[in-house]
């Protein structure tokens, strides 16, 4: 280890001439951002920082060792929003010789700090840049750079200083070469109050008292890494005991009560699983997790190497009060951030246009690592990621994965779906070996997708598996997916002995273009020897049209296990054969993920007039036999659109009969309302959905069960508290509601209180809800208005009409609420008649100051009315016919 150079920094303001800073200009587009010259490479940084909570500033110094690649008379690096960087406080030595500085300037547009020299630095010289003093604001307003956070601990407000550097915010804390490919080693030294604790990426090496109040913490040198992965925190937090090199930090009461233990145990399991899968030991000797107060962490979670930060609520909570989905979310997010320790930290994208190399793999392993450690959510990846990517990547404004400004849905959900497609194309064995090679060949380096694809091609050739790719290389295939926006739809026309497949880019807005992809075609023919478990490509499609021969009179279904990121639309004959298979024959002959695919595609086509809702609902009738969570949750996601828009006059009563009949079938026998010890994860999720929906639909068996459990004071698990409480309130009397409200007042756990709030609005008694709103609006009330109002709107038809009428009649009181705009929009999203429109217009005319809000609300109502005008009559007829056929 290189000897540590410690330059102590204090809060005194340097009197030398300061560099002027002009108007602040944040960079909003990475595509347009000017890059640093490529003539200097940093080797290591020695940083000393001191946050001052009293003055709300931080002061610092840094030495940067660099190698000069090409002859130059200026050094350009990043610095932004840093004060007191004076020429007199900068020293540059090259090969132990001091260089004289002619001029120092900053550019707020490029965020460059330029140091011009009086003499030339020759190529291959090694230089040390010393910045002896700089200063920045320690504010709680901006949640990037080094900033202030606050939290309450046993009635006392506490402060912490924490960091968030991704993607371009390290430059706001110290002068640096702030681009991901410019990796370096870091020596971190933090000055803190003696009553505080500091944490950084590496292990603490030494603590040195500076005076009676301050301590200098010296940290070990890190591995070579990007600036955005550097992190440090100064806090009064406590931590769990160190276990296998891991700790979790949080506020003292939470740590004392064991609220971080689940995150600690899962972190240990997940890290071990990653080491085994990648065949690569974790690079550092320790990894810490820390819960930042939610309000002060916009990012949600950050993979800083060795110091992973999260919103506190994601990893620290009383285990016994948390719902299963909350626990699963913790496992998933730890899996995501720990995956980054390899994919993103060890091997890093060379520039932000390749962010998907980091986030795509982390999002992929988020699900499949969770499954490795006992949380079986691998299939849920399809509904969460594949379907989300298909939904969001279908507009003409979307961007390619390799675009610097690609949205999160592209670099997370779409990229992870493409990575899953790669896995299916090459098989799990080849996929895993390729990733092992990719990591080993590029550790501590930065990469583009080319290096990833080269690793795959190498393993494919070594394993003699080139036939898996047809006549293509993985680079050729993947370029069509990572460098083009959108995705294809396959139009499948099946005749007696031919299957004609045509690809087009899929749009939901009517746009057209001639984009083509190299598509892995997988398909199953009814009564053929093909099966759904082998997902390598049957054929490769690079042209607009391909014709396949077949000898089957039955149906064909494409995209086995929905392994490819594309939609499929069939001719009417084949579609009817698939619907018949599901409704009249053994529906399990079609893979569960393909059943979900058929539902998702069909509803999507109906929403853009490429299929009639009657066709979709005929397909959905098979759900009376369905017992698996994946197709049912896919259906519920889409039927929620109809549920939120369908007007009473368009057969809403018969719609509820249809829904009740679906969920009174096989699934109600398989998934009992009462929890069972043998419940799988998907069974637990399905039970929650069924109770929520059946009780909302007025199913008497559901509401009677819920009320009975509630009135008997039976123990209710966190998973079922909201569904059971809500179902009970729907038919309960005032005494029942008062009993639940009393439970809310006596409850001390925030998670339980939130679940009760979600249920109190489910009453279908006007007097009860009026009393509730009066209580909410009382000036001494501790109830959060927005969640309480939202619970009434989300409870169903009764709540929507009640709250709208109450708001209309008492708008003077509602107008005074801070969340009035959100309340109006939430209600309007459920309104669907011209009477609603007229009443809203009245409010708009009487309260001009809220005109923009009412304009948005009226637009939503008119959209719902137009939807009913377009689809209502057909839906009414179909639901009526369905009722007649029961």
Count of positions (residues) in the chain = 886
Q: Quickly count: other Cβ atoms within 10 Å of residue 747's Cβ.
A: 15
- Cβ within 8 Å of residue 372, ≥6 positions away: 273, 277
Is 280 annotated as ligand-binding?
A: no
Show the CA angle centred on residue 99, arms to residues 98 and 101, nearest 5°.
135
Q: For the domain made up of 488-624, give the CATH fold.
A: Immunoglobulin-like (2.60.40)
**40-236 matches 488-624 in fold:** yes
Q: Tell whether domain 651-885 is in CATH 3.10.450.50.
A: no
How many whole angstroms separate alpha carbon 665 and alpha carbon 661? 7
Q: Choose the catalytic residue: 179, 202, 303, 337.
A: 337
Is 133 annotated as ligand-binding?
A: no
For residue 37, what are its two tokens? 């010259």
Domain 342-482 classification at class level: mainly alpha
Handedness of CA 315, 316, 320, 326 (dihedral sign): negative
3-class SS of residue 472? coil
pTM score: 0.94
Mean pLDDT by 10 residues, the chain (886 residues): 36 31 52 90 98 96 97 97 90 94 94 96 96 94 93 94 97 98 99 98 97 97 98 98 98 97 98 98 98 94 98 97 97 98 98 97 98 96 98 94 92 98 98 98 98 98 96 96 97 93 95 94 87 95 94 92 98 97 96 98 97 97 96 98 96 96 82 91 95 95 96 95 98 98 95 96 97 93 94 96 96 93 96 96 94 96 97 96 84
Nearest to 516 by CA among 546, 564, 484, 552: 484
How many whole angstroms separate alpha carbon 331 and alpha carbon 319? 13
Q: Which residue has tokens 């109002």?
A: 789
Strands, sheet with 214-219, edge to edge from the N-terminal-most edge strand: 97-99, 90-94, 126-137, 57-68, 40-52, 185-193, 214-219, 204-209
Is 428 annotated as ligand-binding?
A: no
Looking at the DSSP bridge assignments, the partners of residue 215 are: 192, 209
Nearest to 360 by CA among 412, 427, 405: 412
Is 494 in contact with 511 (CB distance < 8 Å)? Answer: no
Confidence (pLDDT) at 142: 84
Is 200 in contact with 304 (CB distance < 8 Å)? Answer: no
Is 832 in contact with 645 (CB distance < 8 Å)? Answer: yes
CATH number of the structural domain 40-236: 2.60.40.1730
| Residues of the chain by 3-state class (helix, strand, coil), percent to 5 | 45, 20, 35
Domain boundaries, the chain: 40-236, 342-482, 488-624, 651-885
For residue 314, what are its two tokens? 């994601």
Is 103 part of the annotated catalytic residue set? no
CA distances from 762 to 696, 772, 886 (A): 9, 11, 30
Confidence (pLDDT) at 8: 37
How many whole angstroms separate alpha carbon 587 and alpha carbon 627? 11
Task: Give the CA count within 13 Å in the CB-facing half-sphere of 522.
Answer: 25
Looking at the DSSP bridge assignments, the partners of residue 500 are: 493, 547
């Amino acid at each position: 280890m290189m000897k540590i150079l410690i330059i102590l920094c204090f809060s005194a303001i340097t009197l030398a001439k300061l560099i002027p800073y002009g108007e602040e200009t944040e960079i909003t587009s990475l595509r347009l951002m000017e890059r640093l010259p490529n003539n200097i490479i940093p080797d290591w940084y020695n940083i000393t920082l001191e946050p001052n909570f009293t003055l709300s500033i931080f002061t610092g110094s840094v030495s940067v060792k660099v190698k000069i690649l090409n002859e130059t008379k200026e050094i350009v690096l990043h610095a932004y929003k840093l004060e007191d960087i004076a020429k007199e406080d900068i020293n540059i030595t090259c090969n132990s010789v001091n260089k004289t500085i002619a001029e120092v300037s900053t550019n707020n547009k490029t965020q460059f700090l330029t140091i011009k020299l009086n003499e030339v630095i020759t190529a291959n010289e090694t230089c040390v840049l010393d910045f002896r003093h700089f200063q920045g604001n320690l504010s709680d307003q901006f949640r990037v750079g080094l900033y202030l956070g606050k939290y309450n601990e046993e009635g006392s407000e506490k402060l912490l200083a924490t960091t968030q550097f991704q993607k371009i915010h390290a430059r706001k804390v110290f002068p640096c070469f702030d681009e991901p490919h410019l990796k370096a080693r870091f020596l971190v030294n933090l000055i803190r109050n003696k009553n505080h604790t500091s944490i950084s990426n590496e292990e603490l090496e030494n603590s040195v008292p500076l005076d009676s109040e301050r301590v200098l913490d010296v940290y070990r040198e890190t591995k070579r890494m990007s600036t955005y992965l550097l992190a440090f925190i100064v806090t009064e937090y406590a931590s769990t005991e160190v276990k296998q090199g891991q700790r979790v930090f949080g506020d003292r009461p939470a740590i004392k009560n064991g609220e971080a233990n689940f995150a600690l145990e899962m972190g240990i399991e997940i890290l071990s699983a990653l080491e085994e899968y990648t065949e690569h030991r974790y690079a550092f000797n320790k990894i810490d997790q820390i819960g930042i107060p939610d309000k002060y962490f916009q990012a949600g979670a950050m993979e800083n190497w060795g110091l992973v930060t999260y919103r506190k609520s994601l990893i620290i909570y009383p285990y016994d009060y948390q719902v299963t989905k909350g626990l699963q979310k913790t496992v998933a997010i730890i899996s995501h951030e720990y995956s980054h320790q390899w994919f993103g930290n060890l091997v890093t994208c060379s520039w932000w246009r390749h962010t998907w190399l980091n986030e795509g793999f982390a999002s992929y392993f988020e699900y499949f690592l969770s499954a490795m450690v006992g949380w079986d959510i691998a299939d849920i990846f399809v509904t969460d990621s594949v379907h989300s990517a298909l939904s969001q990547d279908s507009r003409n404004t979307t961007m390619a994965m390799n675009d610097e400004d690609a949205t999160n849905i592209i670099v997370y959900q779409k990229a992870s779906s493409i990575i899953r497609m790669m896995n299916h194309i090459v098989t799990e064995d080849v996929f895993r070996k390729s990733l092992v090679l990719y990591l080993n060949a590029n550790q501590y380096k930065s990469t583009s997708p080319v290096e990833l694809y080269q690793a795959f091609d190498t393993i494919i050739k070594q394993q003699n598996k080139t036939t898996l790719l047809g006549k293509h290389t993985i680079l050729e295939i993947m370029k069509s997916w990572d460098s083009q926006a959108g995705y294809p739809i396959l139009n499948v026309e099946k005749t007696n002995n031919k299957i004609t497949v045509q690809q087009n880019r899929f749009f939901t807005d009517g746009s057209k273009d001639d984009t083509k992809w190299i598509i892995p075609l997988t398909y199953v023919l009814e009564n053929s020897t093909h099966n759904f478990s082998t997902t390598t490509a049957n054929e490769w499609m690079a042209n607009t049209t391909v014709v396949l021969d077949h000898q089957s009179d039955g149906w064909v279904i494409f995209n086995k296990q929905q392994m490819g990121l594309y939609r499929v639309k069939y001719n009417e004959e084949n579609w009817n054969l698939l619907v018949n298979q599901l409704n009249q024959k053994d529906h399990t002959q079609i893979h569960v993920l393909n059943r979900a695919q058929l539902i998702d595609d069909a509803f999507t086509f109906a929403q853009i007039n490429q299929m009639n809702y009657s066709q979709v609902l005929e397909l959905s009738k098979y759900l009376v036999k369905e017992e698996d969570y994946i197709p049912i949750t896919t259906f519920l996601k889409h039927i929620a659109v109809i549920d939120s828009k369908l007007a009473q006059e368009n057969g809403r009563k018969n719609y509820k009969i249809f829904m009740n009949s679906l969920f009174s079938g096989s699934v109600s026998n398989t998934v009992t309302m009462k929890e069972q010890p043998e419940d799988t994860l998907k069974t637990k999720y399905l039970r929650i959905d069924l109770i929520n929906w059946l009780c909302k639909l007025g199913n008497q068996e559901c509401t009677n069960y819920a009320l009975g459990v509630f009135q008997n004071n039976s123990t209710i698990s966190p998973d079922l508290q909201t569904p059971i409480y809500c179902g009970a309130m729907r038919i309960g009397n005032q005494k029942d509601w008062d009993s639940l409200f009393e439970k809310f007042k006596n409850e001390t756990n925030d998670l339980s209180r939130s679940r009760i709030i979600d249920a109190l609005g489910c009453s279908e008694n006007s007097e009860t809800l009026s009393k509730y709103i009066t209580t909410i609006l009382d000036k001494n009330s501790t109830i959060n208005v927005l969640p309480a109002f939202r619970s009434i709107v989300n409870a169903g038809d009764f709540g929507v009409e009640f709250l709208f009428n109450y708001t209309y009649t008492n708008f003077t009181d509602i107008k005074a609420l801070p969340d009035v705009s959100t309340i109006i929009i939430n209600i309007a999203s459920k309104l669907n008649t011209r009477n609603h429109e007229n009443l809203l217009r009245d409010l708009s005319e009487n309260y001009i100051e809220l005109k923009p809000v009412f304009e948005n609300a009226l637009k939503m109502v008119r959209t719902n009315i137009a939807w009913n005008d377009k689809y209502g009559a057909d839906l009414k007829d179909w639901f009526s016919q369905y009722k007649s056929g029961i």
